[in-house]
């Protein structure tokens, strides 16, 4: 296949590009590099620097023999979405619908979407199944769900074959690519920042939840397992009738915040001080997704998603890239030394 990865210079996108190249596919990356890194694009892939809102440029790229698209470009910070919902609706909905239009005009009808389990909001049961109620509690989740709706209607009207993959937290790294965000909001890299001496301690929000150790439990999958799911989903869009299929990706068990911190101490051999603070409003005790359907229908298996392997790979990448990607901004530790970071459930 000739695959276009929109947002392919980001953490999830670049790792997926690696997997596609390994499988023998031809890959073009389309990214505006606002949060991604040119250095993350693996050798062998073509990088086109362009914005999702630039329909003409997208159309030119899509018309160059592209067979299928993986869409990973989105705004994804929950807190930011609460402060500036307009930004999220423009990027995650309006600009993304522009991608669908560009695909339609170019005759490209196969699409895989990197979605989120945040579309479920606060679930009534865990593990969460695809048929469960979708009721997002922030603009981030709402806009991702809105774009799924647009995909569904494009499938009905224009013979698209699309798959949306919903998941919670991604961790781990490959030899080439790992997490390098600014600001960083994800649990694993925040904990590893403390291990690296870039922060004094982690703050754990809440230790009185109805869980075995009192801290929130969240689902995690290795970025390599997610990349493989993207490949399996793209292959699946080559068969069947026009439709949108939705699959959850998850461990079905999850790990607590305290378990992540303890495992990071073992993996890194560092103390990683942690200080409990009050709960955050709106943090459910447990968020875990069921991936039974993805395992059954796509043949997906999370082969690398143990806590130890995710942390080991993330730490190895961080030690090999202490300053992040070469095109990344300078470390945010600042002239006053390391700061505390918040070890939340993501």
pLDDT digits 0-9 by tens, 79-136: 899 999 999 999 999 999 999 999 999 999 999 999 999 999 988 899 999 999 999 9
At 341 the pLDDT is 41
Residue 182 in tokens: 């600014």
Share of the chain above pLDDT 70, in %: 94
Helix or strand (DSSP H, E) at 2: strand 2-6
* pLDDT band, residue 238 (cuts 50/70/90): very high
Active site residues: 140
Q: Which of 4-13, 119-128, 198-207, 330-339 has the lowest mean pLDDT?
A: 330-339
Rg, the chain, Cα only? 19
CATH tag for 174-218+254-286+304-343 (out of 1.10.10.10, 3.90.25.10, 3.80.10.10, 3.30.365.10): 3.90.25.10
The helix/strand/coil state of 250 is: coil
What are the extents of the domains in the chain?
A: 2-170+219-249, 174-218+254-286+304-343
Classify residue 83 by burial, with Cβ atoms within 10 Å: 0-12, 13-18, 19+: exposed
Q: CA-CA distances (angstroms) from residue 298 to 144, 159, 229, 289?
A: 22, 21, 8, 16
Global confidence as pTM: 0.92
How many whole angstroms separate alpha carbon 298 and alpha carbon 233? 7
pLDDT digits 0-9 by tens, 147-182: 999 999 999 999 999 999 999 999 999 999 999 988
Q: For domain 2-170+219-249, say whether CATH 3.40.50.720 is its number.
A: yes
What does the DSSP 8-state code read for residue 330? P
At 185 the pLDDT is 84
Torsion of CA 74, 20, 232, 94, to 10 degrees: 20
Classify residue 208 by burial, with Cβ atoms within 10 Å: 0-12, 13-18, 19+: exposed
Q: What angle do CA 167, 169, 172 make, to 5 degrees?
A: 120
């Amino acid at each position: 296949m000739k695959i276009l990865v929109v947002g392919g210079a980001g953490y999830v996108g670049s790792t997926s590009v690696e997997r596609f190249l390994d499988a023998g596919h031809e890959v073009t990356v389309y990214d505006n590099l606002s949060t991604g890194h040119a250095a993350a694009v693996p050798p062998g892939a073509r990088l086109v620097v362009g914005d999702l809102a630039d329909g003409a440029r997208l159309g030119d790229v899509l018309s160059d023999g592209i067979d299928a698209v993986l869409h990973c470009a989105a705004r994804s910070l929950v807190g930011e979405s609460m402060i500036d919902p307009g930004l999220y609706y423009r990027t995650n909905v309006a600009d993304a619908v522009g991608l669908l239009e560009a695909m339609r005009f170019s005759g490209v009808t196969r699409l895989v979407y990197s979605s989120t389990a945040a579309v479920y909001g606060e679930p009534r049961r865990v593990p969460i199944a695809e048929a469960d109620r979708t009721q997002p509690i922030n603009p981030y989740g709402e806009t991702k769900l809105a774009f799924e709706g647009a995909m569904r209607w494009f499938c009905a009207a224009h013979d698209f074959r699309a798959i949306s993959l919903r998941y919670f937290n991604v961790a781990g790294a490959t030899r080439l690519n790992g997490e390098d965000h600014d600001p960083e909001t994800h649990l694993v890299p925040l904990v590893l920042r403390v291990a690296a001496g870039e922060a004094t301690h982690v703050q754990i929000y809440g230790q009185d939840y109805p869980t075995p150790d009192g801290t929130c439990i969240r689902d995690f999958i290795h970025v390599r397992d997610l990349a493989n799911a993207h490949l399996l989903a793209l292959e699946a869009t080559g068969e069947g009738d026009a439709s949108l299929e939705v699959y959850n990706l998850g461990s079905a068990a999850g790990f607590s915040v305290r378990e992540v911190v303890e495992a990071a101490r073992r993996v890194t051999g560092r103390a990683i001080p942690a200080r409990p603070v009050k709960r955050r409003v709106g943090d459910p005790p447990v968020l875990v997704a069921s991936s039974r359907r993805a395992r059954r229908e796509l043949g997906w298996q999370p082969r690398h998603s143990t806590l130890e392997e995710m942390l080991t790979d993330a730490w190895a990448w961080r030690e090999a890239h202490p300053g992040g990607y070469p095109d990344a901004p300078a470390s945010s530790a600042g002239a006053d030394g390391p700061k505390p970071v918040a070890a939340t459930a993501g």
